[in-house]
A and B are shown apart, each in its own frame.
Chain A
């Protein structure tokens, strides 16, 4: 039980790696830098493997394991410990984070080989893993928030990694400020949580929810408010409507960063947080509906933008926003395990898509525009096949990881609300279409680049090996939750079951059991294979094939005939322009004309300078009194003496 007792080791390793590279790395050779960084993550991954072994020996009553190392803050009732906890959800998240980040680190050896600031990159990347692990291991909301903000910081640093590029700097700032908006709500949510439950520990809060008798229970209104505020944080961090705008811009960062932070791990922090808070959300149906609605709308909306993007990374970015929407849809309709399952499979296939896209960009010598590509299939076969598998996974083609997770979510949504289901279903079709569009434009058809200028070449092994690993997981990863009849074990759902039922309200536990019993396995299989999601995914595939292989002139004709909607979508619904006009410009105007010129210069500077001016001016007048002329001093003495005498006589008179 070594690692279980010393959970801190898992988060300390990446921190150590970040410190070594960050403080000393400047003078190291590239080999030393990447061996330090990768061994830190590899050791963290091995610790995780050992943790799983030890965790498997625990009995159900011992979970969650909470380890308190020291008290961090005490102020009256407010007490925050540095305490870490492990339960099934943590295990899943730890696995995803350590494994994907290990692969991304390895991939970065090749991808970043010729970049300046090599040590800086790996140091940031390790630091990110440290914060992400803190986030998932934290046993209280405040420590979780530390990780939450920390990953935001690393995201900012890595988006702006090429800090000489103006667009990268702006994108970094945009990401930081936009997520800060959500975090504002999150902070208030934490305070309200403490105010309500007098504790910030997950265990203590959840136990209170379960053990209080109904008449002493927390009003649903307060619970709903807390949940909505926490969800605001998730909206910012996980790029949902209306705060998703930073994620597409975040693609300015190096591609491994996009894969790790902006697809596989950090952006799923919001999903993890809501899954962690499921006892609260389960008791706030209104908040749940909001989560589901925002998720479904985002899933659909971002998918429509993805249809027309030409930058390969931008397509993937909008796709990420859309897939995160699915996760929230799953959480919102109460299918927590499905949401987390999609989080996991998405980490595999979207991480893979980004890394493969990075490989494509690498092959193209830095060009990210799909209209410049084409026919790359035979030139970079490993990249092509792995990306092809990932596309099958994300599109929901049966047998691949995304099929199982997305199908579970849509199934749960159908049971909950037909409207949400329809949105999700259409979004799934769009997903399939834009992903195959990406594949067909990039890898099929005739080369559209200048073959004399661009020397397309397959990436080095350090880049292709992670691709192959992720491709295997994108295929096999779904089977851990597959229903019995297709040969699966539903192991995933069963594994997570305790996390989502331990503190659940009494009513839902029974209902869930009933729902499981209703549908016979045979009909479920039939349903799954012939259901709407599969049909619509195949339709998307065929449509993309028809548009981009069969008759490549169709898209242009269609765009011409639907000029207005096409322009609207191409410009991302003018949301950036809208935010610019509605928020940024007024904010700038107020900042400049009111806060700067009036408040800062007028009131704050005015007060400070005014005090100084009064002191100076009165001093200038008063120093005239000290004339050096003894007689005038005597006059003052006399005036003073007379004053005192008059005062005394007057007082005396009053007393008498």
Chain B
């Protein structure tokens, strides 16, 4: 069977990462922003796995596990923050959550 070249994975990873960025930069809902972040993380995971496979090394896989663990923790904390923000401000529009400035 023929091996799928690494460039395919990388292109897919780049597309996913780009989607994540676009979601983060252009959407307003905080939940959506959060999803954008997850998307970017997973795009990076994909790239790691692809490289690990291509070079026959385990380092990339190890990193992926770390990223998954950190992402899980991050979603837990992040969602908790989002809930608290909603309780206080009655909104999830990121444009209006802007008190942290000069």
Contacts and interface: CB of A to CB of B under 8 A. Distances in A.
A634 to B, nearest CB: 5
Interface in A628-654: 628-631, 634-635, 638
A19 to B, nearest CB: 59
A629 B94 CA distance: 7
Interface in A266-285: none
Interface string B62-102: 00000000000000000000000000000000110111111
Nearest to A638: B21
B89 to A, nearest CB: 13
Interface in A593-631: 623, 626-631
A628 B102 CA distance: 8
Contacts, number: 29
B47 interface: no
B99 A631 contact: no
Contact of B25 (A627, A628, A638): A638
A628 B21 contact: no
Nearest to A634: B24
B93 to A, nearest CB: 10
Interface residues on B, range: 10 to 19
Given A635-B25, A638-B21, A638-B25, A630 B94 contact: yes
Contacts of A629: 94-95, 97-98
Contacts of A623: 102
Interface residues of A, number: 10
B49 interface: no
A630 B33 contact: yes
A626 B94 contact: no
A626 B95 contact: no
B86 to A, nearest CB: 15
A627 B24 contact: no
A619 to B, nearest CB: 10
B5 to A, nearest CB: 21
A631 B94 contact: yes
A628 B94 CA distance: 10
Contacts of B94: 629-631
13 contacts: A626-B102, A628-B99, A628-B101, A629-B95, A629-B97, A630-B94, A630-B97, A631-B24, A631-B33, A631-B94, A634-B24, A634-B25, A635-B25
Interface of B: 21, 24-25, 28, 33, 94-95, 97-102
Interface of A: 623, 626-631, 634-635, 638
Given A623-B102, A629-B95, 18 more contacts: A626-B101, A627-B98, A627-B101, A628-B97, A628-B98, A628-B99, A628-B101, A629-B97, A630-B33, A630-B94, A630-B97, A631-B24, A631-B25, A631-B28, A631-B94, A634-B24, A635-B25, A638-B25
